[in-house]
Structure 1
Amino acid sequence: MTLYKNGKTAEENSGAYGKEGFIYQQLFDLPDLDGNYPVIGSWVIGQEPAGIGIRESVHLITNNQSRFVPHLISG
């Protein structure tokens, strides 16, 4: 995967992405918190919030080695 910013390569990593060989994603500037880049993801089940997860990496491209902290919405 290659991350482009302002038409220039900002970061790259390798991976098996299938025969297509590429993934398109919208660029969102992540906050830089002392060299760590957090991303918040959410789960919705049946139109109801079910949980969130915070994934954090030292890289701009989140990968399967990024730290992950799950949160459960209960009640």
Structure 2
Amino acid sequence: MPHNISAIGVTEDGRFTDPDGYRIGALFKLCPWADMLRESFAEPVAASETLFLEPAWKAILSNKAMLPLLWERNEGHPALLPTFFEYAPEGRELARGPHVRKPFFSREGSDISLYDGNLRHRGPDEGYGAEGAIVQAYAPLARSGENHAVIGSWIVGDEAVAISIREDASPITRDLARFLPHVIVG
């Protein structure tokens, strides 16, 4: 049953409860972990024994500050783009050419900027970026007519299990992008 996050209670032993006082064993949330972890609601998460259907470790993978670290450890890997922290010397150098600026925490294209020497395109202004940003070498998305497409992939272990295609009229994929999932069988 859907509830507003403010309707969720916490017992003395740190378990989450619904408005009727029943323990919440499993929870699906739409609030991003990066936002939720800033709230007092986050304090009891670890001890709550609640199964979050989007696990907390996703906060690490969705943090774009991971990208410069991946590049540093795997420089030149064909699946990665050169990426640096915005104010690092390498980041300032990269920012002289075509690049993308991404806040550490943002969603659905918010506060992302594309540069080709000058600002070329900016995603919706949602106030992300106080924690910092990365700069990444620009790689244009695949195009079909006026649409831009990005492919997402799901890997379990070492096996590809699904892909998705998100397509948008903008070169920055936004929240209303069209989404087409694919499952790989066999």
TM-score by length of 1: 0.81
Provide the aligned C-alpha RMSD in A. 1.7
Percent sequence identity over aligned pairs = 41
Alignment CA distance shift 1:29-1:18 (3 Å): closer
Q: Secondary structure at the match of 1:24?
A: strand
Give CA deviations for 1:4-47 in whole Å, capped at 9, x if unaligned. Answer: 12x11110022343532534343211233211001111110111
Match of 1:20 among 131, 145, 169: 131
What is residue 69 of structure 1 aligned with on the other side? 180
For these two proteins, the number of residue pairs brought into alignment is 74
TM-score by length of 2: 0.36
Q: Which has the larger radius of gyration?
A: 2
Runs of 4+ in 1 over 2 A off after TM superposition: 15-19, 21-26
Structure 2, gaps ≥5 residues long: 1-111
Match of 1:11 among 108, 118, 121: 121
Aligned-partner Cα distance in 1 for 2:161–2:180 = 15
Q: Is the 8 A contact 1:17 1:23 kept in 2?
A: no
Comparing both structures, which one devotes a greater share of its residues to strand?
1
Match of 1:59 among 170, 174, 180: 170
1:15 maps to a residue whose letter is E
Aligned-partner Cα distance in 1 for 2:132–2:126 = 9
**Higher normalized contact order (CA 8 Å, seq sep 6+, divided by chain length):** 1
What is residue 146 of structure 2 aligned with on the other side? 35
Aligned-partner Cα distance in 1 for 2:142–2:184 = 25
Q: Secondary structure at the match of 2:174?
A: coil
Aligned-partner Cα distance in 1 for 2:141–2:162 = 21
Structure 1, gaps ≥5 residues long: none
